[in-house]
Amino acid sequence: MSASPGKLLLAVALMVVALFAWGHQRTIARHDPRNTTGADGMVLLKASWCGYCKRLEAGLKGAGVPYEELDIEESSDGEYAFAALHARAVPVMVVGQDVVYGYDTQKLGRLLADRGYRVQFE
């Protein structure tokens, strides 16, 4: 028994879509900041218009906290990192292998204190 041309075409189309989706997910996963932060590295995902991002940056800079910055709208690395972390809003701060979503200064303060930083957030 042979498959009809329509069924064969549908099967090929579904395989192409599946391969594309698999490749896209692998690309996103490669950009997860936790792949490079180790135990103590830090990455801030932000947007230039975000007031909470600016407040967070001011606190980090004031305390001398070293971190990498990724703008989710101005760089593909930032966009992919945002997707890899399943984030829905900025700011997102990666501290080692921990992820802090939003302006959660209590959680972020604890994680930074564990690494020897005292940060004053507004």
Residues 64-87: tens digit of each pLDDT: 999 999 999 999 999 999 999 999
pLDDT number for residue 108: 96
Cis geometry, peptide bond prior to residue 66 (ω within 30 degrees of 0): no
Mean pLDDT of the chain: 87
What contacts 90, CB < 8 A, 6 or more positions away? 45, 46, 47, 50, 52, 53, 72, 82
At the fourth CATH level, the homologous superfamily of domain 34-113 is Glutaredoxin (3.40.30.10)
Q: In whole angstroms, what is the distance from residue 55 CA to residue 38 CA?
A: 25
Higher confidence at residue 16 or residue 21? 16
Q: In the predicted model, is pLDDT for residue 24 greater than 50?
A: no
Q: What 3-state class would DSSP assign to 69?
A: strand
Residue 27 pLDDT greater than 60, yes or no: no
